[in-house]
A and B are shown apart, each in its own frame.
Chain A
Amino acid sequence: MVETQKENIPAATARRPRWGRILAWTGLFALLVLVFFGLLRAQKGQFKIGERAPNFTLTSFDGQTYDLADLRGKVVVMNLWASWCKPCEQEAADLEAAWRHYQPRGDVVFLGVAWTDTDKKSLEYLDRFDITYPNGPDLGTRIAQAYRITGVPETYVIDREGVLSYVKFSPFLSVDEIIAVVDPVLEK
Chain B
Amino acid sequence: MMRTVRHRTGRKIGWVAVLLSGAMALLYLSTVSAQESTPRPPVSDDQVNAIAKQMYCPVCENTPLDVCPTQACIEWRELIREMLAEGKTETEIRQYFVSRFGDRVLAAPPARGLNWLVYVIPPVAILAGVLILFSALRAWRQAPSVNPASKEPSTQATTTENDEYTQRLEEELRKL
Contact A5 B149, CB 8 Å, known A116-B101, A141-B101: yes
Residues of A in contact, count (CB < 8 Å): 24
Q: A140, B99: Cβ atoms under 8 Å?
A: yes
Report the Cα distance A135→B149, complex, angstroms: 83
Q: A139, B100: Cβ atoms under 8 Å?
A: yes
> How near does chain A come to B11, taking the closest CB pair, in angstroms?
61
Q: B128, A5: Cβ atoms under 8 Å?
A: no
Q: B102, A118: Cβ atoms under 8 Å?
A: no
Q: A121 interface residue, CB < 8 Å from B?
A: yes
B117 CB contact (under 8 Å) in A6, A34, A121: A34
B75 CB contact (under 8 Å) in A1, A5, A84: A84
Residues on B with C-beta less than 8 A from A117 are 72, 75
Residues of B in contact, count (CB < 8 Å): 24
Residues on B with C-beta less than 8 A from A145 are 102
By beta carbon, the residue of chain A nearest B104 is A141
In residues 87-126 of chain A, which contact B (Cβ within 8 Å)?
Answer: 116-118, 120-121
A2 CB contact (under 8 Å) in B72, B101, B150: B150
Residues on A with C-beta less than 8 A from B104 are 141
Residues on A with C-beta less than 8 A from B149 are 1-2, 5
**Chain A residues within CB distance 8 Å of chain B:** 1-2, 5-6, 9, 24, 27, 31, 34, 82-84, 116-118, 120-121, 137, 139-142, 144-145
Residues on B with C-beta less than 8 A from A141 are 58, 101-102, 104
By beta carbon, the residue of chain B nearest A2 is B149
A118 CB contact (under 8 Å) in B70, B79, B99: B79
Chain A to chain B contacts (Cβ below 8 Å), 21 pairs: A2-B149, A5-B149, A9-B147, A31-B121, A34-B114, A34-B117, A84-B70, A84-B75, A116-B57, A116-B59, A116-B72, A118-B78, A120-B79, A121-B75, A137-B100, A141-B58, A141-B101, A141-B102, A141-B104, A144-B58, A145-B102
Residues on A with C-beta less than 8 A from B128 are 24
Residues on A with C-beta less than 8 A from B59 are 116
Q: A84, B100: Cβ atoms under 8 Å?
A: no
> How near does chain B come to A181, taking the closest CB pair, in angstroms?
26
